[in-house]
Amino acid sequence: MKITFLGTGTSTGVPQLNCNCQVCQSTNPKDKRLRSSILIEIDHTKIIIDCGPDFRTQCIRHKIESFDAILFTHEHFDHSFGINELRPFRKANLYAEKRVLQSFHDSFPYLFGENPYPGAPQLNLFPINENPFFVNNIQITPIRLIHGKLPILGFRIKDFAYITDFQIIEKSEKEKLKNLDTLIIDVLQQNPHPSHLKLSDAIELLNELQPKQAYFTHISHKMGLHDEVEKILPSNYHLAYDGEILFSTFQS
């Protein structure tokens, strides 16, 4: 399984507009973050998780010319407002909860209305819930998370899981995250936040779940400089960065 970080930033991206902090002024490419998204390649199947407003740039950077599915964690703009950029692909399969799919209709009536805009792509909508589902022959297990007061989804594929934008996870959902090779997890900053994990809380959860390796994503400029934060992390936990590529092993 190959995983590419298309973006690792929070809703404002990094650098944040109108900010002169040391992170936003950094010249280190690892401190430049587009909105969070990943590309998973497994068994000739390409799956993207979340499609935010930087999707066009991400596709150009990584030469993404096709994919089999886009999975949506939730409807917030930084995770879904790249839908407009799907027009050149002509066709796309979108998987999300019914509430999220309805938000697409509301936000993009020219793509989903009775009289779609000329040139609108064929967007096939697949409602999902907490039950496992398949993309081609790949089983995907949703993970229920709470983002503020909003129920959202993370996803597990074999020995890999992606959980972002949350602060609360129930014990039953933690059980779905045991015996992982790689876990990508939400960490906004080092200080508390009402709807995201802070760094110490994420490390505490990782120590409980015990994945072989973990990567933090959805990172704010308030987290600090990439290279400085890396120094204080356990050896198998890392701040992800845009363009980073992982290979996750799994049992056949």
Task: Decide if 77 contacts 11 (C-beta within 8 A).
Answer: yes
The mean pLDDT of the chain is 96
Structural domain count of the chain: 1
In a domain, 85, yes or no: yes
Asked if 58 contacts 34 with a C-beta cutoff of 8 angstroms, the reply is yes
8: in domain: yes
Q: What is the arithmetic mean of pLDDT over 218-238?
A: 98
pLDDT at 148: 97
Task: Confirm whether 252 is domain-assigned.
Answer: no
Q: pLDDT tens digit string along 137-181?
A: 999 999 999 999 999 999 999 999 999 999 999 999 999 999 999
Residue 16 lies in a domain: yes
Half-sphere exposure of 80 (CA within 13 A, CB side): 22
First to last CA, the chain: 11
Q: What is the dihedral of CA 123, 129, 130, 135, to 10 degrees?
A: -30
Distance, in Å, from the CA atom of 204 to the CA atom of 233, rounded to the nearest integer, reads: 12
pLDDT, tens digit (0-9, with 9 covering 90-100), for 40-92: 999 999 999 999 999 999 999 999 999 999 999 999 999 999 999 999 999 99
Q: Considering the domain boundaries, does residue 115 fall inside one? A: yes
Q: Which 3 state secondary structure label does DSSP give 155? A: strand
CATH number at residue 80: 3.60.15.10
Please, which pLDDT band fits residue 12 given cuts at 50, 70 and 90? very high
Range(s) of the domain holding residue 63:
2-246
Residue 251 lies in a domain: no
Token couple for 229? 């934060």
Q: Is residue 230 part of a domain?
A: yes
